[in-house]
Amino acid sequence: MTSLSTILKESWGLVEDRKDRVAAHFYARLFLSHPQLRELFPVQMDTQRARLLGAIVSAVQNFDNPEGIDGYLRSLGRDHRKFHVTPEHYAQVKVALIDAIRSHAGEQWTSVYEQAWNDVYDHIAATMTAGAAGDTNPPYWHAEVVHHERRGADVAVFTCRPLQPLAFRAGQYVSIECGYQPRLWRTYSIANAPRADGTLDFHVRAAGGGWVSGALVRRLRAGDMLRLAAPMGSMTLDPQSRRDIVFITGGTGLAPVKALLDELTRYNRTRWIHLFRGERQRDDFYDHEHLDRIAESFPWLTIVRAVSDEQGYPGERGAIPDVVSRHGPWRDHDFYVAGSAAMVNATLRRLTEMCIPSTRIKYDAFTDA
């Protein structure tokens, strides 16, 4: 019997090369049938167009391992409370989605495909709804920016204070909306472990990023208000593990690792930690004085910096996965990887080649697209 995941991949394959048209059809159908839903989306739909459809399709396509994604879907449901999403919205989106795919698949669309999309979508919606229903937190938190600092041409490090307590674990991320780009929410990792005063640090790079990152770097000021949604992500420390740790970061992927380091400085005595930090140019190493101070105070921390795109750099050079493997072997370590999707994927491939078991590698599918 053909597996459900094969059926889903096969059916999506019928329309994949026309996914822009599927997305246009999906939103047109959705907003025509339910004009009130338009208000949940940003005014400019250009960047949004691929997002909701892309997220649903990727959840459906990754359905091979339902147990593995259930935890993620539950936290996604909690995160979506920021949109005031209701169970009826899920049903309305399903009708528009299946109609859009069916219309573009043409005669090859079958009742088996239709049933598979219905069933999997219903499972995803039920899991997200259950995650949202079990959450007693507010749908989002208002937070005041208390400090904002530019580091170099395109990076900002800023601190905000949520008006209500926001519980999270070091290594997690939240989506943020700022008044400069209403209704556009983008995810950013919290760069510190929980503090008594509740403040949160964020690192943002504007170059190549979207409108939200641009506004957070260039326009945000102390005194501005932000909205933050429920914390997500599984890149947290395992308190049971006694293994030494390798952190591998690209660019602002440093943020969640800085939070994990912050947590480790509070209790670690026994685990040796290597931080491999990749940037393109030497000038991109924002925040290095602070990291150096941590390494001076805590002898268990070793930092290796490498640049990938600057020929004359006198220090370590190369793509960060190559640098990590040069410094190996790392047979008995826990690994944490954070950076762009391309950097994370390249690093995961390399770790697999190095025979590191996947159970010892933590990362979040994280995108700021």
Ligand X SMILES: NC(=O)C1=CN([C@@H]2O[C@H](COP(=O)(O)OP(=O)(O)OC[C@H]3O[C@@H](n4cnc5c(N)ncnc54)[C@H](O)[C@@H]3O)[C@@H](O)[C@H]2O)C=CC1
Binding site for ligand X (CB under 6 A): 173, 189, 205, 208, 235, 250-253, 255-256, 278-280, 308, 319-321, 338-340, 342-343, 346, 364, 366, 368
User: Based on CB atoms, which residue is closest to ligand X, 134 or 208?
Assistant: 208
Cβ neighbors of 130 (< 8 A, separation 6 or more) are: 74, 77
What is the distance between the alpha carbons of residues 217 and 286, in angstroms, rounded to a whole number? 14
Element (H, E) at 93: helix 87-105
Minimal distance, residue 340 CB to ligand X, in Å: 4
**In the complex, residue closest to ligand X by CB:** 251
For residue 353, the minimal CB distance to ligand X (Å) is 14
- Structural contact between residues 146 and 159, judged by C-beta atoms closer than 8 angstroms: yes
88/363 Cα distance (integer angstroms): 33
CB closer to ligand X out of 135 and 368: 368
CB of 32 to ligand X, least distance (A): 34
State which residue, 215 or 346, has the beta carbon closest to ligand X: 346
Contacts 24+ apart (CB under 8 A), 196-200: 197/161, 198/161, 198/162, 198/165, 198/166, 199/146, 199/159, 199/160, 199/161, 200/143, 200/159, 200/160, 200/161, 200/162, 200/166, 200/174, 200/228
CB of 222 to ligand X, least distance (A): 22
Which lies closer to ligand X via its Cβ, residue 96 or residue 212?
Answer: 212
Rounded to a whole number of angstroms, the minimum distance from the CB of residue 187 to ligand X is: 7
Nearer to ligand X, 6 or 352 (CB): 352
Q: How far is the CB of 92 from ligand X (least distance, A)?
A: 30
Looking at the Cβ atoms of 127 and 189, the one nearer to ligand X is 189
Question: 88: exposed, middle or buried (C-beta count within 10 Å: 0-12, 13-18, 19+)?
Answer: exposed
